[in-house]
Amino acid sequence: MRISRLPDVQPRPRRVAVGTFDGVHLGHREVIRGADTVVTFAPHPTAVIQPDAAPRLLTDTDRKASLVASLGVDELVVVPFDRAFAARSAQDFVDDVLVGALGATHVAVGENFRFGHKAQGDAELLRADGRFQTRVVQLLEVDGEIVSSSHIRGLVLGGAVEYAGRLLGDPVTLAGEVVHGDERGRELGYPTANLVPDPLLVTPAHGVYAARATTADGQLLPAAVSIGVRPTFVTGRGELIEAYLLDFSGDLYGSRLQLAFLKRLRGEKRFASVDALVAQMALDVDAARAIHDGGGA
């Protein structure tokens, strides 16, 4: 899949799906169905218009691109969103972006999609334009709840990664560079690969999770992942993501590691002794292996 910035695209006939698409969840996928081009915005528009209200995101641009590509889309067009772009009228967005820059013949949006200065543009404005066909997709409901990025963020923040993955259509996933920690896990017999949470992204609630790890060279491995501040020890460190990769030995420092969260095993807790912690870690590892081998989320 080709990834383009809006200023660099050349007009051609395109079947376009437009939206922020944070998470690329099941509702987003219905909007994207049939499109050859997905148009999205970076940074998230709220981060520009109302910075204090900006949400922590489910996906960065790389993860979003990977998910969009998996849907068979040919091109992802990223609109650099800034105050100047936010000030453009809705009609300017239609004339200059959808028609002028992209050459859209078909446009798909969710029914709640708003665009242009002060969000004055909506699906009806698109439907009224005869230069392209417009498909407006109703909001998707699962278990009586609207599938939305904000709802899924709440699930992830609460640790409900298994159900969040169901609504996303793929597991909740984080990735980053492996950094040095306190090497406490190595001392306990469970050496971990450590990631520092990205403050711009949603991190699952503190606790222990079964996960699937993907190393930079493409190895897929079961993992037991702890997220938290390690209350059994006084470390002085902040929140950390610690992944114990089963059946792996080697040095991952400085390399990129991706973690797909399959299920929450338990919450974070303080143990009365190191021995009690190690015993629980053994149980966590066994549970993570069983979930991974059983197919996971």
Looking at residue 249, what is its pLDDT? 84
Pick the closest to residue 99 from 157, 39, 164 (CA basis). 39
CB 93 within 8 A of CB 126: no
Looking at residue 294, what is its pLDDT? 80
What are the residue ranges of CATH 3.40.50.620 in the chain? 2-146
Q: Is the torsion defined by CA of 44, 50, 51, 52 positive or negative?
A: negative
Looking at residue 182, what is its pLDDT? 65
CB 188 within 8 A of CB 244: no
- Label residues 279-297 b or e (16+ Cβ within 10 Å = b): ebbeebbebbbebbeeebb
Strand order in the sheet with 172-177: 172-177, 256-267, 207-214, 220-228, 240-245, 193-195
Q: Is CATH 3.20.20.70 the right assignment for the domain spanning 2-146?
A: no
CB 207 within 8 A of CB 224: no
> What tokens does 61 get?
């641009």
Q: What's the start-to-end Cα distance of the chain, in Å?
A: 26
| CA atoms of 160 and 150, how far apart (whole Å) | 14
Looking at residue 183, what is its pLDDT? 61
What is the torsion angle, in degrees rounded to the nearest 10, for the CA atoms of residue 109, residue 57, residue 290 and residue 226?
A: 180
Alpha-carbon separation of residue 83 from 45, 50, 51, 52 (angstroms): 9, 11, 12, 15
> Going residue by residue through the chain (297 aa), what tens digit of pLDDT does each one get?
999 999 999 999 999 999 999 999 999 999 999 999 999 999 999 999 999 999 999 999 999 999 999 999 999 999 999 999 999 999 999 999 999 999 999 999 999 999 999 999 999 999 999 999 999 999 999 999 999 999 999 999 999 999 999 999 999 999 999 998 766 555 566 889 999 999 999 999 999 999 999 999 999 999 999 999 865 444 445 789 999 999 898 889 999 999 999 999 999 888 888 888 899 999 999 999 999 888 554
Amino acid at 121: G
What are the residue ranges of CATH 2.40.30.30 in the chain? 171-293
Looking at residue 273, what is its pLDDT? 86
**Looking at domain 171-293, which CATH architecture does it have?**
Beta Barrel (2.40)
